[in-house]
Amino acid sequence: MAAAASTSMAATAVLIHRLPTKTTANCSALPCLPHRFSTPAFSTSLKHLPESRRSSLLQVKASSSDETSTVDANELVTDLKEKWDAVENKSTVLIYGGGAIVGIWLASTVVGAVNSVPLLPKILELVGLGYTGWFVYRYLLFKSSRKELAEDIEGLKKKITGTE
Residue 68 to residue 63: CA distance in whole angstroms: 12
Residue 1 predicted with pLDDT over 50: no
Residue 124 in any domain: the answer is yes
Reported as a pLDDT band with limits 50, 70 and 90, residue 71 is: confident
> Tens of pLDDT along 116-147?
888 888 999 999 999 999 999 999 999 999 99
Reported as a pLDDT band with limits 50, 70 and 90, residue 43 is: low
> Tens of pLDDT along 96-118?
999 999 999 999 999 999 888 88
Reported as a pLDDT band with limits 50, 70 and 90, residue 60 is: low
**Model-level pTM greater than 0.75?**
no
Residue 123 in any domain: the answer is yes
Q: Tell whether 155 and 126 lie within a shared domain.
A: yes
**Structural domain boundaries, residue 146:** 119-164
Going by C-beta distance under 8 Å and a sequence separation of 6 or more, which residues neighbour residue 49? 57
Q: Tell whether 129 and 147 lie within a shared domain.
A: yes
Number of domains present in the structure of the chain: 2
Q: State percent of the chain over pLDDT 90.
A: 38
Residue 130 in any domain: the answer is yes
What are the φ and ψ backbone dihedral angles of 27, each rounded to 5 degrees? -125, 150
Residue 68 in any domain: the answer is no
What rounded mean pLDDT belongs to the chain? 75
Residue 60 in any domain: the answer is no
